[in-house]
Amino acid sequence: MNNQRYVVIDVETTGNSPKKGDKIIQIAAVVIENGQITERFSKYINPNQPIPAFIEQLTGITNEMVEHEEPFSAIAEDIYRLLNNSCFIAHNIHFDLGFVEYELKRAGFGELECDVLDTVELARIVFPRFDGYKLTELSEELKLEHENPHRADSDAEVTAFIFLHMIDRLKQLPLPVLKAIRRLSWHLISDAQELLDSLIIEKDSRTDLEAGYIKVGSFVIKAPESIHEEPEEEGRSVKKDTLIWEEAGGLSSLQKHFENREGQTKMMKEVWTAFDNHEHALIEAATGIGKTLGYLVPAAVHAKQTGKPVVISTFTTLLQQQILNRDIPLMVKIFPFPVKAAVLKGRSHYLCIRKFEHILHEDDDNYDAVLAKAQILVWLTDTETGDLSEINLPSGGKRLWDRIAYDHQSFARTHPIRELCFYERAKEKAKQADMIITNHALLLTGEASQRVHTVDADTFIIDEAHHFERVAGEQYGTRADYVSLHKKLMQLGTLKQKGLLKRAERLFRSAGISADSFFQMDERLSLLFEESDMFFTAVHSFVKRRKPKNDLNRLLYKVGPENENRAWNRLVEGARRLCSMLFDMHELFVEQMENLDEKSMSFTSRQAFLLEEYQSCMNHLKKYGEKLGRLFFEHVKDEVVWIEIDAKGAKNAASVYAQPLDAGEMLADRFFTEKKSVVMTSATLVVENSFSYMIKKLGLSDFYPRTLQIESPFSYDKRMKIMIPKDISPIKNDQSEDYIHDVALYIKLLAKQQNAKALVLFTSHDMLRAVYHALKNEADFPCQLLAQGVSGGSPAKVMKLFKSYQHAVLLGTNHFWEGVDFPGDELTTLVIARLPFRPPDHPVESAKCERAKRRGESPFQAVSLPEAVLAFRQGIGRLLRSEEDSGTVVILDRRIRTSSYGRVFMKALPPAPVEEPTFLEMEAYISGLNVKKPH
């Protein structure tokens, strides 16, 4: 390590801004020299002002602890000497540096002469796979003790150790990677040049590239493992003479390796029979039976016996990871033959090495793009997949990824990098796999069909099957929105901007070709920017005038014959102008390419890449025009078209959607007809003990699928209690003040249970927010309160926070009704705030109801009720995830007992005892639980 002296600083303060009068209340420093900690310093500071209560709570530093301490001015000289001519390191450098410089200036000292390093920024580069970069998250990932978060001495200490870990990681990086990061470092917050230079000099004596890496241009990738293996040794092999099923000892022999679960055995037999008879099947497998292994075992055997892979499709990536990382390794241990699995994702999930090679060298002063490039350089030294899901890019890095992701133009067939291509490697793995794991959306696209057919797959398992029809509707539909159009227009830019248009114009000039057409293109693009903004602003205004709900953020408006009025016709005319401008621009682009044809053979690879990007962008805009035209001018039978706007966002934040009304019919024609056997499975496929609704919804009526419902082995009568309070106000609408008051009252009561972990499920974000604010105003609310979309960031971050607290309440909507697991004590109470009926004015819902009415059916019975029951069952399923779990379900919607349809929901409940207490009886129940479980 170089001889530079590093001083890690952390400060605790009374607030966020020294210019607004906030002061330091604690400062700590850790000095690092020659890779060793040589000095520590920590001191409380008297701010000469009260410490706010929330700062006391956060840091544990009280007014009493600082009242007899010195002010900062008394130690200012020591701090100045400590830092001057050293490198100032902090976790979020702007915060700590800002306070220290401000206080030093007030004490009469000049500017600090020191470099700065931000450990948040460096951690993002050095550890690009980490989920988060807060001190607590980094210390957890690196297995460092962090005894007192939000105390300066503890924070400075752990920051110093994190920095030393980062130095160790940087030392391991190949020389070309260090040099590439060094070239980017001028655009970073950190003054990392001296540090990187010392590491480069240290490495330069060993000029050979370390084993296990391959140099590509000016960067390095991890050398791929050989994926071309002998098929008879490791790949799928066909056994015709002996049934592998029997050779493996049959089902009973395999079953002995697993926990004895009757339901799992039933499922294995049913899946095997469906495959063997070339039938489709629906299997409802309740929580606790071991559903995943229930289909993986027969799938693996079937693949080996037939020599063809079985494709397994899920709705969530979480389940994909569970199958790949937990269930398949478990299953492989018990088979007397090897079983291979591969994940199948869309092209855009994979990095294109050739594109990155070109884009890395572009001059780019966009901070997020530079940071993302540095992260990718490090990530490429250890990734085997090149899959976007592995890397934690900054929010602005998504634009860069769009440019470097694999697409149909990524390679010419003879390109020398082709064998290193991540997408090609994924395809090769899929060809050799016994089981291909994918997702519903990709499975229903042309790209997936093309890739799956290359390996002759004809047998499928659809897990989380209750989502399959909805995903099909989205895939068979279309969408046009302002953001995606604007993003492409920005990528092109105008001749005054640094975009593709300017670079393409320079290319034409350098090739000696007339660039006059670019002035026309520039003019058309300027008009397109203006026209697209005006059009989507008009769309936004059109919806807002017709749905003037000030309390809602997302507003939806279904387009229909009743729209034939003057205002709608103006929108149609705007769409016509926009489409015409997009097509005219593409025609001009085609003329440009014709002029370029004779010169294109002499272009360098970098020039050819620029033209590919330009062409790709222009083709995308043409396709956008076609989508917009379909939405406004092609009235497709049995298709619903609607507009969504962000009512409280930008005035052009609008999207137009179209979906088939009956995706099931399309699934029947385009999917089920083409497959030998498809097994659909989920924990919720049955309504009133019948598969009829799901069979009809999925388009399976003419296929007469096999059906099997497997009950849960859980002892619900001992492990779950269901409560439906008697004295809660009736529901009139989402914003009924009495109802919101009662929901808040019951949540507060349930939160009083010692170490309670309560999940409250809502059907509306607006109602969730109203309840959240009602509870937030309660000064004596007994625990942490989290709310999706209001506090804590993304649903994943909110869930992580909730799991980390010992006593908390989480308010959630759609995301938390299914697909989330809280095992053991992570969830003690589940609250259903309202029965999960979809809003009757939702475009798809209302269109399906209208169609049911035309057919002489009851829209409520045919559409609304079964969908609500399935969602209700998913919600209830969050509470017990294993045989050891236990807890209470509280349903705050009295309609389950008072309405004519309530019995359907009651039948959907697990076989657990049901009580209908008053508020006072519920209070007594919570008190009783607290007596049973004292602190």
Q: Which residues are annotated as a binding site?
A: 285-292
Long-range contact list for 25-28, CB < 8 A, 24+ apart?
Answer: 25/51, 25/55, 25/59, 25/61, 25/66, 26/59, 26/61, 26/66, 26/151, 26/152, 26/153, 27/72, 27/75, 27/79, 27/100, 27/152, 28/152, 28/153, 28/155, 28/156, 28/157
Q: Which residues are known binding-site members for ATP?
A: 285-292
DSSP secondary structure, 17-41, as one string: -GGGT--EEEEEEEEEETTEEEEEE
d(CA 346, CA 785): 38
What is the largest distance, in Å, between two alpha-carbon atoms of the chain? 91
Nearest to 758, CA basis, from 816, 819, 818, 797:
816
d(CA 119, CA 190): 9
In three-state secondary structure terms, 152 is helix
Nearest to 641, CA basis, from 716, 750, 726, 539:
539
Give the other-Cβ count within 10 Å of 771's Cβ: 22
Tokens at 854, concatenated: 């035309």
d(CA 658, CA 632): 10
- In the numeric block, the tokens 């005054």 are attached to 496
Tokens at 490, concatenated: 């920005």
Tell me if 775 sits within 8 A of 785, measured CB to CB: yes
Cα 783 to Cα 364, 445, 756, 920: the distances in Å are 47, 46, 9, 21
Nearest to 835, CA basis, from 859, 804, 803, 867:
867
647 contact partners, CB below 8 Å, separation of at least 6:
544, 547, 549, 552, 553, 554, 555
- Cα-Cα-Cα-Cα torsion 85, 90, 93, 96, nearest 10 degrees, comes to -90
**620 exposure class (CB count in 10 Å sphere: 0-12, 13-18, 19+):** middle
In three-state secondary structure terms, 13 is strand
Cα–chain center distance at 49? 43
DSSP secondary structure, 256-323, as one string: TTS---HHHHHHHHHHHHHHHHT--EEEEE-TTS-HHHHHHHHHHHHHHHHSSPEEEEES-HHHHHHI
Tell me if 323 sits within 8 A of 292, measured CB to CB: yes
Nearest to 532, CA basis, from 482, 494, 572:
482
**259 exposure class (CB count in 10 Å sphere: 0-12, 13-18, 19+):** exposed
Nearest to 283, CA basis, from 707, 791, 874:
707
Tell me if 633 sits within 8 A of 580, measured CB to CB: no
Tell me if 500 sits within 8 A of 491, measured CB to CB: yes
- Angle CA 142–379–804, to nearest 5: 35
Strand order in the sheet with 554-559: 478-481, 654-660, 639-646, 554-559
Tell me if 839 sits within 8 A of 878, measured CB to CB: no
Tell me if 228 sits within 8 A of 222, measured CB to CB: no
Tokens at 461, concatenated: 């398992």
d(CA 759, CA 826): 10
| Residue 134 DSSP code | S
